[in-house]
Amino acid sequence: MIVFRDEARIERLKKASQYVSAFGFLLLVAALILGFVNPEQYLGLQVAALPIGWLLSQIGLYLAHRYLRKPRPDEVLDEALRKVARQGRMYHYLLPAPHVLLTPAGPIVFVSKYQTGRISADGDRWQQRGVGIFRKFFSQESLGNPTKEAERYVKGLAGYIDRHAPDVEEVPIGAIIVFTSKNIAELDVEKSSIPAMHYTKLRGYLKQQGPGEPLPEATYNALRDAFDQKAAGLTPVQA
């Protein structure tokens, strides 16, 4: 599997996550101190600092989970896919979806999630339980709706293909939701409307699905060229 990765973006956002998290933490601490010093005089500042500090801390968590934590989601996906997608071309942080695998049968969008606790899905409805209040609001980002996230990425990639490979007729774009944390207490996602699984199950799932019907050569080449435009100047690596 050939991997293209925007290392410059990763380094840039890795630093941003540290700065944003630190600033958000300082705002929260400052708000607490102001509450003890003179709550009446500084009430307005405290009311402003608390939500801003919390918002910045959430942005910092969002960035840290993707660009600072080791192993990063892109590294987990590469390890899980390298033996089952030998003919694939993986694009990390380059296209409208963060992780896109181009296979001879078409592109697949991967939605990586790092949440823990007990996670379940029924159609496009998701639920997360078993996470304490502190961890839910301060140590990990919200689960959100991975189904809607996947649909947004697929739509964005389809639009990119329309703009950069206009001669290509509509092609199927797959989507898979992958949980990359090792510490999930329970993952009940068999009823998800979009395939969802722990990263340890990804290789077996793709083997079971098989390679799929290959695209016409001209279509595949047009997609490859369109995706490679975003990877211009990057050195591909063999996973």
Can you tell me the distance from the alpha carbon of 3 to that of 61, in angstroms, rounded to the nearest whole number?
Answer: 26
Q: Specify whether 64 is located in the same domain as 85.
A: no
Q: Is residue 129 part of a domain?
A: yes
Look at residues 35, 68, 101 and tell me which one is the last residue of a structural domain. 68
Look at residues 20, 44, 68 and tell me which one is the last residue of a structural domain. 68
Q: Is residue 75 part of a domain?
A: no
pLDDT of residue 28: 85
Half-sphere exposure of 142 (CA within 13 A, CB side): 8
pLDDT in tens, 175-209: 999 999 988 889 999 999 999 999 999 999 999 99
Q: Specify whether 188 is located in the same domain as 221.
A: yes
Q: Specify whether 62 is located in the same domain as 90.
A: no
Please calculate the CA angle 127-79-186 and round it to the nearest 5 degrees. 25
Domain count, the chain: 2
Q: Specify whether 181 is located in the same domain as 161.
A: yes
Q: Specify whether 63 is located in the same domain as 85.
A: no
Look at residues 68, 91, 109 and tell me which one is the last residue of a structural domain. 68
Which residue type is seen at 159? G
Q: Specify whether 107 is located in the same domain as 213.
A: yes
In order of 17, 22, 42, 158, the CA distances from 58 in angstroms are 10, 11, 24, 29
pLDDT in tens, 43-93: 777 788 888 888 888 888 888 888 888 899 999 999 999 999 999 999 999
Can you tell me the distance from the alpha carbon of 172 to that of 176, in angstroms, rounded to the nearest whole number?
Answer: 13
Q: Specify whether 48 is located in the same domain as 87.
A: no
pTM: predicted TM-score of the whole model, two decimal places: 0.86
Q: Specify whether 123 is located in the same domain as 234.
A: yes
- Considering the chain, what is the average pLDDT of its residues? 90
Q: Specify whether 143 is located in the same domain as 171.
A: yes
Q: Tell me the residue range of the domain where 178 lies.
A: 80-238
